[in-house]
Amino acid sequence: MGTSCRETHFANSSKAKKAANAKVGAPPLKWKEHWFEHDLTVTRTFYDNNAAVYYDDNMSRDVIWPNKVISNAWAYVKSTYGNFGDSTRLYVIFHKVVNGKLGGGHPASYFDGSHDYRNVIDCGLDDWTNPSGQQIGMPIHEIGHIVCGASHGVKGSPSDALWGDSKFMEIFIYDVYLHIGYESEAAKVFREMQNKYDTFPRANTQWFKNWFYPIYNQHGKAAVLNKYFELLAKYYPKKNGNEFDHDLNWGEFVHFWSGAAGVNLKEQATAAFGWNNKTEAQFVAAQKAFPQILY
């Protein structure tokens, strides 16, 4: 169909009327990027109550799978982790990488003026033909960063200092896939994680296999993931009212996850990450500092 601009929405349905009357109104047809090296004007190609999808001029308008996938994913995230500011929608920008430009992904949340205080994911690949592998994984990964950094009304991700960029995303992506009809992609993630090793916090750590999946599988699935962020938002120190003040240490990390799971996870943490005198001291201190976290 070429690269001419085309928008998809529910023009003649009750869903369209609800979207048009939503608190934030209809999303803009055009949006001028003004962050990092991004300076393109992108065009809205789809919207509903959950998502507004934008393409740059290099994106084929024949690629329509993101519409349903992103809408369903964001609807699931809101139902699981709560609201993210006043906006009902996730704003999603897709770039086709040309000459090596605008590749990769990044998120922004409703806290961020840099992206006009919208919940945003911005993703670039050289191929967006099929919802599999990296093509579906990248946008879901970036949604996960919004969950980590803006859930329950608090800005920041104090866990990033420990789990880095991608460790929570592995279980997050797995769970989202299961709830948006992509069980086969979830199975791929599960198989891949059985032989996935990291060097932190020690050599040959298997975050998914030995930490996240056992907690997820035994203590409530997505509910335990949300509970962790809920407890952090409620009890972990903040500055300026709604921004986390500092990063977690390992003892605090295990304490808050134990609270989310409702059981003491020291044994699980020892198997997954190792345990030493410093971690023990941090864990005991965390139990004293945050007695509201029960298990």
- pLDDT tens by residue, 37-88: 999 999 999 999 999 999 999 999 999 999 999 999 999 999 999 999 977 8
Q: What is the average per-residue pLDDT within 163-174?
A: 96
Q: What is the 3-state secondary structure (H, E, C) of the chain?
A: CCCCCCCECCCCCHHHHHHHCCCCCCCCCEEECCECCECCEEEEEEECCCEEEEECCCCCCCCCHHHHHHHHHHHHHHHHHCCCCCCCCEEEEEEECECCECCEEEEECCCCHHHCCCCEEEEEECCCCCCCHHHHHHHHHHHHHHHHHHHHHCECCCCHHHHCCCHHHHHHHHHHHHHCCCHHHHHHHHHHHCCCCECCCCCCECHHHHHHHHHHHHCCCHHHHHHHHHHHHHHCCEECCCEECCCCCHHHHHHHHHHHHCCCCHHHHHHHHCCCHHHHHHHHHHHHHCCCCCC
Return the closest-CA partner of residue 86 out of 31, 22, 142: 22
- pLDDT score of 144 more than 50: yes
pLDDT tens track for 156-167: 999 999 999 989
State the pLDDT at residue 11.
34
- pLDDT score of 31 more than 60: yes
Residue 32 corresponds to which tokens in the numbers above? Answer: 């001028």
Query: Dihedral (C-alpha) 134, 135, 138, 143: value to the nearest 10 degrees?
Result: -140
pLDDT tens track for 204-237: 999 999 999 999 999 999 999 999 999 999 999 9
State the pLDDT at residue 88.
85
Q: What is the average per-residue pLDDT within 102-109?
A: 96
pLDDT tens track for 91-102: 999 999 999 999
State the pLDDT at residue 87.
72
- Residue spans of the domains in the chain: they are 14-153, 160-289
- pLDDT score of 2 more than 90: no
State the pLDDT at residue 166.
84
**41: exposed, middle or buried (Cβ count in 10 Å: 0-12, 13-18, 19+):** exposed
State the pLDDT at residue 24.
55
- pLDDT score of 17 more than 50: no
